[in-house]
């Protein structure tokens, strides 16, 4: 699985003009299940995400995690993270998991974060969404779980 994490002071996702998920301080997480990913992939990515030390401590150093801060996560499915741009100018997305498998692994990733005590808001899988966020820092980190 792949994820793009952005440390935010706030973030929200809307579908059809209606806000369906929002958080204050925390992480905006765009996540994509890839071909061959398993529940173990989602579990590993969620564990890494929860423990990643990208929030400031009292000394101003990035030394605290979602778990340490009690911050929330807004998790949005993003199959375009599977984009292959190696040939031509039109990205290919064949490396992404099929939609039913992607949705199952996306939900499992969210459940794994919740199981660790993290407040999780979500987008709507497969929907045309509008995402708004204020990237704090800015801090943006790319993660991949082992297949």
Angle between helices 99-115 and 39-51 (to 10 degrees): 40
**What pLDDT shows up at residue 146?**
75
Residue 107 pLDDT exceeds 90: yes
pLDDT tens per residue, range 53-84: 999 999 999 999 999 999 999 999 999 999 99
Q: What's the CATH code of the domain at 51?
A: 3.50.80.10
3-class DSSP assignment, residue 87: coil
Active site (catalytic) residues: 78-80
Q: Contact, 103 vs 39, CB < 8 A?
A: no
Q: Which domain holds residue 104?
A: 2-144
Counted domains in the chain? 1
3-class DSSP assignment, residue 134: strand
Query: pTM of the full predicted structure?
Result: 0.94
């Amino acid at each position: 699985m792949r994820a793009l994490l952005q440390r935010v002071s706030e973030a929200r996702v809307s579908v059809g003009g209606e806000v369906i998920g929002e958080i204050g301080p925390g992480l905006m997480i765009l996540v994509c299940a890839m071909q061959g990913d398993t529940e173990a992939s989602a579990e590993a990515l969620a564990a890494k995400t929860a423990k990643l030390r990208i929030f400031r401590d009292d000394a101003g150093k990035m030394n605290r995690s979602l778990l340490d801060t009690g911050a929330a996560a807004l998790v949005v499915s993003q199959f375009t993270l599977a984009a292959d741009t190696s040939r031509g100018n039109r990205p290919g997305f064949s490396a992404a998991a099929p939609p039913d498998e992607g949705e199952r692994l996306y939900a499992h990733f969210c459940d794994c974060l919740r199981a660790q005590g993290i407040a999780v808001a979500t987008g709507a899988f497969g929907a045309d969404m509008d995402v708004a966020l204020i990237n704090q820092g800015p801090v943006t980190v790319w993660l991949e779980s082992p297949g």
